[in-house]
Structure formats: structure tokens, C-alpha cells
Structure 1
Amino acid sequence: MNGRVELITQAEYARRRGVAKSAVAKAVKEGRITLIDGKIDPAVADIQWAQNTRARADAGRAASESSSAMGEAPSAANSAPQAQESAPVGASSGKDDYQALRVRREMAAVEREERENAREAGLLLDRREVSRGVFDAFRALRDEVFNAPQRSAPRVVGLADVREIEHVLMEELRKAFTIAERRLQDLMPEKPEAA
């Protein structure tokens, strides 16, 4: 070896990797592979490709077939599947992490769509509105209950029978709770009609 770096064209590098020339051009454009005087150092590009490019399911097979056909040793990117196979149990590969994140992202998108559909159908309520409505209803109940003695006092002044006094007090409390119940019902959405 004379110490010179072998530089090749993007088309030649694409043939060596077993990928389309457009894939290499895209990697160069996105900065995932660097150029030297407009050409590619294949050893450096193999490392950059492995680190900066998401693996496709058939990419390792295509690249290993092309390098076997050319009589070359597999590159770092092509030997990655063997390295993953020899990894300790429980260790995850970058591809597994990517797949897990992709599944989580898709599940979150589905949940977001379901929430939006429920909101449009009137099955989902705004938490702030509900909290405010419940607070207002219970404040009204409190006020009605605290006012019940004032309303019932004049009615029980001349009564001597305990049952009659109890009846007046219960009537006032019932009115207070009925008012609160109506307020809560006003806050609740109407049930959607069956189709």
C-alpha cells in the first residue's frame, strides 16, 4: 500500500454498496457522507453510512451480495448484523430503538385522532370548563344550604311539634339540593341520539 487515499465517484460508491446512485447523492446532499474534492473515500463513507443512515431490511443483503461479487470484504455497515447477533442478551440495536420509537409515535398519532373524533362527536369535555362548572355548582349548593336556616326560621317560630320543625328544615334542604342538581345537569352534555 502506497498510503494514498482511494477516491471514487458517487456512482462507483453506489455500485459498491449495492444502492441506487440517488441514495448516495441524497446522503451527500444531507451531509451524511462527506466528499473530498468532489469524490468519496469509500472507507470513510462506509463508516459515515453506518452511523448516519437508517438501515432498510434488504440493505445489508444487497450490499453483502455486491461486495461478495466484487471479491471484497464486507464493509462496517454490512458487518453490523453479525455484531448485533453477537450482542449480549437484552442489548438493543439502534434499529430496534428506532422501531420502538416509530411504534410509539404511531400509537400517539392514533390516540390523538381518537381524542379529536371524540371531541367532534361531543363525547369529550374540556377539563377546565368541567372543573369550573363543578366548582360553581358546589358553591351554589353551599350558599343554598347556608341560607336554608334563614328561610326556615320564620316558618318554625310558632311550631311546637318536633316533626313539623323537622319537615320545614328538610323541605328547605331539599330545595337547596334540587337547585344544585339542576345546575349540575345544565353543565352535563346532552346524550347523543342513537343512530
Structure 2
Amino acid sequence: MMHLTKSEFAARRGWAKSYVSKLDSQGRLVMTDDGKVDVEATEALLAETADPSKAAVAARHEAKRTERDASSEPQLADDTPSVGQLPSLSGAERSFQRSKAHREYFLAQQEEANFYKMQGSLVERQAVEDAAFAAGRTLRDLVLGLAPQLAAELTGMSDSWEIEKHLAGAFRRVFDDAAKMSGADLKQAMTQS
């Protein structure tokens, strides 16, 4: 087992000392009792907790550090992945990428829904269902209430044309009243959501 100080570990990896301190504050360094870095355990922990989406960047930086140390003139290694290509991912890394993409997709969907709500072109489903139920109930009550109102008026009429005209006028009034109430209820339901 190899144990190094933080400064030695930073030099070995080609990192700035501040970066190693940052890793320590994130709990990504395995320290021994005497305050040194357990290199093997730390490297395993860093590999386990690394963000796979940063793999291409990390590989490119590592190649540049290696070349900088090897020669004064920086050159890219043949196996350095470009920005557009990712190295082959393990099962855990693929799972991480899939989960991250899944999360980002639904966050975008949520923002899109919020945008449409703010514009007024999207409303809560439950509010619309409640308003539609109230409108249907109101219409039913108004139509069923016609029979007791019209019974006395129609018994004195004998001309079928007059009866038809009287019924048509009564139905028209009921449906106009229902439309006004339903429109107001629906508008109120949509503005409450």
C-alpha cells in the first residue's frame, strides 16, 4: 500500500494542491490515521464517484498533463477522445447517463408545462373536470325544473302551435341561462388553477 501526503498525491496525479483539498472536503479522499492519502483506496473511490459525462474531458486533461511532463511541446495522444465521442461506458456509467437524461427530460417537460400554464393555454385537468361536472348538473337541474313550471301554463292551451312556441321559448331561456352559468364556472375554474 502506498501512502502519500496531499502535496505528494497532487504532484503524482499532476493536479493542483487546491484540487486535492477540494476532493478532501468532498469526502473523496481516503485518509490514513496519520493524515496521509491511501493512494489505491482513493483512486478506487475517485473512479467510483466520478461523473461519467466528464470522462472525455478528464481523458483529454490527463493526456495533456502526461504530454506536458514528457516534453515541452504539447501533442495530443492518438487515443484521446474528442469532444464528440465518449469512451465506452460501463454498466454503472450507462445507468448514470440514462438516469441523468431521464431527469433532464422530465425537468424540461415540467418547464414547458409551466410555460403553457403561464400563457393560459394549459389548465389543471381536475379543475376542468369539476367545472364540466358542475355545468352538466346545472343543465340537468334547469331542464328537470321545467316540468313543474310549464305544467300549469300548458294545461290552459289548446293550440299546438302556441304550445310549441311556449316550450321552445322556455327551453331557449333555460339553455341560455345554463350557458352563462357554465361559462362563468369554467372561467373561474381555469383561473383558480
Shift of 1:19: 3.3
Confirm or deny that 1:43 pairs with 2:43: no
Shift of 1:151: 1.6
CA contact (8 A) 1:155 1:168 kept: no
Aligned counterpart in structure 2 of residue 7 of structure 1, from 3, 6, 15: 3
User: C-alpha distance in 1, partners of 2:43/2:65?
Assistant: 14
Moved more, 28-37 or 168-177: 168-177
Cα distance 1:35–1:67, how it changes in 2: closer, same or farther (>3 A)? farther
Residues 3-27 of structure 1: CA distance to partner in whole angstroms, max 9, x if unpaired? xx32112222233334333332222
Q: Which ranges of structure 2 fall in alignment gaps of 5 or more residues?
A: 71-80, 82-86, 189-193
Confirm or deny that 1:34 pairs with 2:33: no
Shift of 1:161: 4.1
* TM, length-normalised to structure 1: 0.68
User: C-alpha distance in 2, partners of 1:141/1:43?
Assistant: 77
Aligned counterpart in structure 1 of residue 168 of structure 2, from 148, 167, 170: 170
Q: 1 or 2, which has the higher helix percentage?
A: 2
Cα distance 1:11–1:18, how it changes in 2: closer, same or farther (>3 A)? same
Moved more, 58-67 or 31-40: 58-67
Q: Which residue of 2 aligns with 1:114?
A: 112
Moved more, 152-161 or 29-38: 152-161
Give the secondary structure class of the aligned counterpart of 2:120. Answer: coil
User: C-alpha distance in 2, partners of 1:15/1:171?
Assistant: 94
User: C-alpha distance in 2, partners of 1:60/1:12?
Assistant: 21
CA contact (8 A) 1:133 1:184 kept: yes
Q: Which residue of 2 aligns with 1:123?
A: 121
> Percent identity among equivalent residues?
29
Moved more, 119-128 or 39-48: 119-128
Structure 1 segment 62-101 matched on structure 2, within 5 A: 62-63=61-62, 85=88, 93-101=91-99
User: C-alpha distance in 2, partners of 1:129/1:65?
Assistant: 59
User: C-alpha distance in 1, partners of 2:62/2:9?
Assistant: 11
Give the secondary structure class of the aligned counterpart of 2:10. Answer: helix
Shift of 1:39: 0.9
Give the secondary structure class of the aligned counterpart of 1:125. Answer: coil
Cα distance 1:131–1:174, how it changes in 2: closer, same or farther (>3 A)? same
Confirm or deny that 1:54 pairs with 2:51: yes
CA RMSD of aligned residues (A): 3.1
One-letter amino acid of the counterpart of residue 22, structure 1:
S
Give the secondary structure class of the aligned counterpart of 2:145. Answer: helix
Give the secondary structure class of the aligned counterpart of 1:98. Answer: helix
One-letter amino acid of the counterpart of residue 5, structure 2:
T
One-letter amino acid of the counterpart of residue 130, structure 2:
R
Q: Which ranges of structure 1 fall in alignment gaps of 5 or more residues?
A: 71-80, 191-195
